[in-house]
Amino acid sequence: MIEDSKLIPENTTRLIMTQLLLALDFFHKKKIIHRDIKLDNVLINQIQDQIHYEIRIADFGLAAFTLKDEYITHRCGSPGYVGPEVLKGRPYNYKADIFGAGSVFFNLLSRRYLFSGTTAEEVLRRNARCQIDHIRKYLETVSTLGQDLLFWLLNSDPEKRPTAAEALQHDWFKNDKNIINDLLNVNNMICSQ
């Protein structure tokens, strides 16, 4: 269980995830894989009495620059947030960051860690197996669309995981589609220069 047991409302979680996925979209278009997306590295600054949130991603110590569509093999990351393909020693790409974002999403929705264990090794073993059906019981208050997006981000097969831009097109974000599309276009313009 995460220290503060108070649940974050789903609308607030949506604001946080929108910004996190927009940042990942930008990094990935710049050919940067963060490789350590986890709750501790997502800094949330509350502005104006919980109405606005400003998200920053921290700690680029494990980040890697890649060539277009390049896969890398160096194993790194934090237990419970690492894409299972990384732990299995398979070549991976930016989709490993998407798994980390999914794990953060679960943290925000449930105030729990995706995988638990008494040692880091036990958490890593569970992370590598990526059996996540047990989390459904912690999502009873989460909308069907929120659950659908979560399981898409956490797909054990990176080929079936969305890109950050694809995730932002999910119906869970439908009320903010126009602004999200505008911001994705800004990312495209900046990254194409």
What residues act catalytically?
A: 36
| Tokens 């600054």 belong to residue | 45
Q: Is the dihedral of CA 186, 152, 156, 17 positive or negative?
A: positive
Residue type, 79: P
Helix or strand (DSSP H, E) at 54: strand 52-57
Residues in the chain: 193
Taking residue 57's Cβ as centre, other Cβ atoms within 10 Å add up to 20
Q: Is 67 helix (H, G, I), strand (E, B) or coil?
A: coil
CA pair distance 191, 193, nearest whole angstrom = 5
**Cβ contact 11:22 at 8 Å:** no
